[in-house]
A and B are shown apart, each in its own frame.
Chain A
Amino acid sequence: MALLDVKNVKKIYTTRFGGNQVEALHNVSFSVEAGEYVAIMGESGSGKTTLLNILAALDKPTGGKVYLKGNDLGKIREKEMAAFRRQNLGFVFQDFNLLDTLTLKDNIFLPLVLSGKKYTEMESRIMSIAEQLGISKLLNKYPYEVSGGQKQRAAIARALITQPQLILADEPSGALDSRSTDELLGLFNAINDNGQTIVMVTHSVKAASTAKRVLFIKDGEVFHQLYRGNLTSDEMYQKITDTLTVLTTGGEHRE
């Protein structure tokens, strides 16, 4: 059974006045196996973020279903939703979303504190993760005291510390310089090699080229997908660029 199963998801936004309907997602279906590293690509307005919000259960689809380990996200009650998200999903955002009022360490602890874990357990969990992400020395600093790349690593640590089924990343490299982006993508690969499933939404070709599979979304549908297989990053990069060219020039190409 796939870890994440997206079936015929449809999302229609109705504008507040006048009832103009905008279709953000037309009919999206795909599945993600445990241990995969999937990038979802598309231009601005293609529905990427809508899709990610639906996967994150922050938004509800108008039609279709999303299953995480066989659980229908639509059937989880509002009350349990926050706890469900906390236990099964980890998030990495473009703008980090760290709380200014907390040290990096406390930011990383936040989801555990919300789940009511003991301090000793939190302490034992954070060490290995901080070590792996190279932020052990920064733990007592505040977000405004560290660089963007370091903030993003703290955010990844926060996503990892709950040992989630799935990490959802929304343009994780969007606010980083190229060196930090390289480091970040390297980290994602390393985490994925440890068996962590990652779904990343991006429009950066570079970011997508490090993933094991790339889904292309256009006009609310999965337009195309690429498997990395044995390709090097550079070859993958080339293939993605080609696909994007086709996508933007409007070819009715399907594989």
Chain B
Amino acid sequence: MNRSIYTKLAISNLKNNRKTYIPYVLTAVLTVMMYYMMANLAANSPMDQEALKIILSLSVHVIEIFALIFLFYTNSFLIKRRKREIGVYHILGMGKPQLAKMLVIETVVAGAVSILGGIFFGTALAKLMYALLKRMIHYDDKLAFRMSWEIAGNTVLFFTLIFALTLIYNLLQIRLANPIELLHAGSQGEREPQTKWILTVAGIIFLGIGYYIAITTKEPLKALQLFFVAVICVIIGTYALFTAGSIAFLKLLRKNKNFYYKTKHFISVSGMLYRMKQNAVGLSNICVLSTMVLVIISSTVSLYIGKEDVLRTRYPQEVYITNSVSDDAENQKLHDMAEKICRDNQVEITDEKSWHMAELVKIKNGEEYTSAMIKDYSSSDVVFFDVIGLADYNQLTGERLELGDKEAILFTNGENYGKDTIQIDDENWTIKKELDKAPFGKKSDSNTENVYYMIVSDEKEFMENYLKKYQLEAEDKPVKWRESFNLRGSEEQKLKAVKELKTQAESEFEHTGVQGRYLEKETFFGLYGGVFFIGMYLGSLFLMATVLIIYYKQISEGFDDRERYQIMQKVGMSKREVKSSIRSQILMVFFLPLVMAIIHIAVAFPVITKLLAIFYLKNTKLFFGCTAGTVGIFAVFYVIVFVITAKEYYKIVE
């Protein structure tokens, strides 16, 4: 009999708290579903897509961490709200063991609904997701998508663990509290928040460092190294400023008597002080999550949209054949092979170029480019010298230039070199001319590596001198030969021809490699489509979390404000005044995170542009458009969520 009473109580408790429990269970269902689907996708991901596989299994872990933190956070919110109710049960004579029993049943019910619901919907939607993923990565195979019992089992196990943890937390809360405390938990006198100057200053410093890194980092590789430092700094800064900075600021306002004792400011400053103390963590959560959503979605969308662009930047021409040990007979055979294969596949070779080059790697040390070992050089100081003979250059461009001894023509893939001489090791070269355009490569603002194309009178002679000087064998530093061309024909034929060329050339010649847009396209689509998919997936997960936090914040604000609202009215504030004052406060509180997130994005923009450059996306305009679009859509979404939840809020207050 006893058991059924507790079950009944537990179920009616869940029903009575439906305003807070339905969103909780709904989120839990969605989280389980997202996790289950992602785990299945990771298990079923195409075998030959290594990068995609890694990304998918990484995101499974991201969801794991997210689920743990998020469900725990929401639960702690719920149990705080319910302390009074539990206190009443306690006073009515329920002992702590009985309370525990009730809570256990509640958790079992909520957990079972969430997990089973999640797996059910996950199973229903997983195929759709799989189809979507395949579409995004341009991958089609006839392999059937298979759900596995093992993954379902793991999902159940993992989420049971999370729910068990929340239950333990709740039980501890009850164990530690006495009934009076439980009863008054909801209405505990609010202590005046302390001004934490150290935390405020720390917040400003951290945010400053993060912003400084974001704004000043110029080189892509450095950006990659520093980006996560910046992210951590900005997250710490955001939390510190929301918790301590806001209160310090409001207290300063309050100190200014002539400002503070004005009808408008009085209520809002004191109200905000109280709100910020309670909501700072929740608001910083919203801010950080919003920023993540915005960064992830805007960058993955631009990568996906800009993938053609990317290929074009990386491969100015469609096909590159490189023989890293140049040999005239071999080069000719390679050239003939390419022509034959293309002819067989009905594609035409156009814009054909070929040249010889010697490749050296030097490190910039002051004004000098040296081979000597230097301690603590950064990746941006490494320069690749592609030394090309004048004969090849004249042939490619149709010019008739002449160069003397120790004279060179220079072309860089980044910023112009700009000086008249260049010192390589102990040799001083005169730069006769610096080019803005060259047939070998393309100029770009953001490169992952620095390449200096140096045209000298004869590349073989250059190399021989070089080898003699360092007493090296010719095998160590051979002269390379490279041919590049575009193709004309149908997409399918082109791909087929290039694939054939690659297989044949690389198996027949030891030192040969074939690269190009068509070959990379598959990997690119796999990678970028995968990144895009994950971006959307995680983005929507974070968005859901943001929405839920906003909802809970509104509700808890509502309960807290009801009393204050009534008092102010009794003391002589008109309904309208109270309403407008409360409204402006909520607006401030809820749009602060959005505004902050947008500022973060704006500041992060340059550094993310640099990061995207590593993925060869250099279309800043495209990225700007994507960011602006994402921010716009997100803001609209945010406003809609706000308006809907605000209704709930007014219902509570009225």
Chain A residues near B (Cβ < 8 Å): 56, 58, 78-79, 81-83, 85-86, 89, 91, 93, 97-102, 106, 109-111, 113-114, 116, 119, 122, 142-145, 158
Contact = CB atoms under 8 A, between A and B. Distances in A.
A111 B572 contact: yes
B574 A116 contact: no
B361 interface: no
A82 B570 contact: no
B574 A101 contact: no
Contacts of A106: 266, 270
Contact of B257 (A102, A110, A119): A119
B568 interface: yes
Interface of B: 189-192, 257-258, 261-263, 266, 270-271, 273-274, 564, 566-577
B566, B573, B576, B577: which has the most chain A beta carbons within 10 Å?
B573
The 9 closest A-B pairs by CB, nearest first: A144-B189, A82-B574, A86-B572, A101-B274, A97-B567, A119-B261, A113-B266, A101-B270, A85-B572
Given A82-B575, A89-B572, A100-B190, 17 more contacts: A56-B570, A78-B574, A79-B574, A82-B572, A82-B577, A83-B572, A86-B571, A101-B190, A101-B274, A106-B266, A111-B571, A111-B572, A114-B263, A114-B571, A122-B261, A144-B190, A158-B571
Contacts of A119: 257-258, 261
B192 A142 contact: yes
A100 B189 contact: yes
A114 B571 CA distance: 9
A68 B569 CA distance: 20
B564 A142 contact: no
Given A97-B571, A144-B189, A113 B274 contact: no
A20 to B, nearest CB: 23
B192 A110 contact: no
A99 B572 contact: no
Contacts, number: 74
A99 B564 contact: yes
A86 B572 CA distance: 5
Contact of A91 (B270, B570, B574): B570
A101 B572 contact: no
Contacts of B261: 109, 113, 119, 122
A56 B271 CA distance: 26
Interface of A is mostly: helix
Given A82-B574, A119-B257, A101 B273 contact: yes
A24 to B, nearest CB: 19
Contacts of A56: 570
Contacts of B577: 82, 114
B159 to A, nearest CB: 39
Nearest to A101: B274
Contacts of A91: 570-571
A107 to B, nearest CB: 9
6 contacts: A56-B570, A83-B574, A91-B571, A97-B571, A106-B266, A109-B261
A109 B189 CA distance: 20
Contacts of A144: 189-191
Contacts of A93: 570
Contacts of B567: 97-99
A171 to B, nearest CB: 14
Contacts of A101: 190, 270-271, 273-274, 564
Nearest to A103: B192
Contacts of B575: 82
Contacts of A81: 574
B570 A58 contact: yes
Contacts of B273: 101
Contact of A99 (B258, B262, B270): B270
Contacts of A102: 270
B314 to A, nearest CB: 59
A143 B571 contact: no
A97 B190 contact: no
B190 to A, nearest CB: 5
A212 B395 CA distance: 118
Contact of A113 (B191, B262, B271): B262
Given A101-B270, A101-B273, A101-B564, A143 B189 contact: yes
Contacts of B258: 119
Contacts of B274: 100-101
A106 B573 CA distance: 15
Contacts of B262: 113, 116
B112 to A, nearest CB: 38
Contacts of A142: 189, 191-192
Nearest to A56: B570
A142 B277 CA distance: 16
B265 to A, nearest CB: 9
B566 to A, nearest CB: 8
Nearest to A102: B270
A116 B263 contact: yes
Contacts of B576: 79
B253 to A, nearest CB: 13
Contacts of B574: 78-79, 81-83
Contacts of A158: 571
Contact of B572 (A114, A116, A143): A114
B648 to A, nearest CB: 21
B623 to A, nearest CB: 45
Contacts of A109: 261, 266
A56 B572 CA distance: 10
Contacts of A113: 261-263, 266
A18 to B, nearest CB: 22
Contacts of A78: 574
A210 to B, nearest CB: 24
Contacts of A79: 574, 576
B54 to A, nearest CB: 51
- Most chain B beta-carbon contacts within 10 A, residue among A114, A142, A144: A114
B294 to A, nearest CB: 33
A39 B619 CA distance: 80
A160 B413 CA distance: 80
A110 B189 contact: no
A95 B481 CA distance: 92
A100 B187 CA distance: 10
B537 to A, nearest CB: 42
Contacts of A58: 570
A81 B570 CA distance: 11
A143 B190 CA distance: 9
A91 B566 CA distance: 13
A95 to B, nearest CB: 9
A111 B274 CA distance: 20
Nearest to A106: B270
Contacts of B570: 56, 58, 91, 93, 97
Nearest to B574: A82
B457 to A, nearest CB: 82
A150 B567 CA distance: 18
B652 to A, nearest CB: 18
Nearest to B258: A119
Contact of A110 (B190, B191, B571): B571
Nearest to A81: B574
Nearest to B266: A113
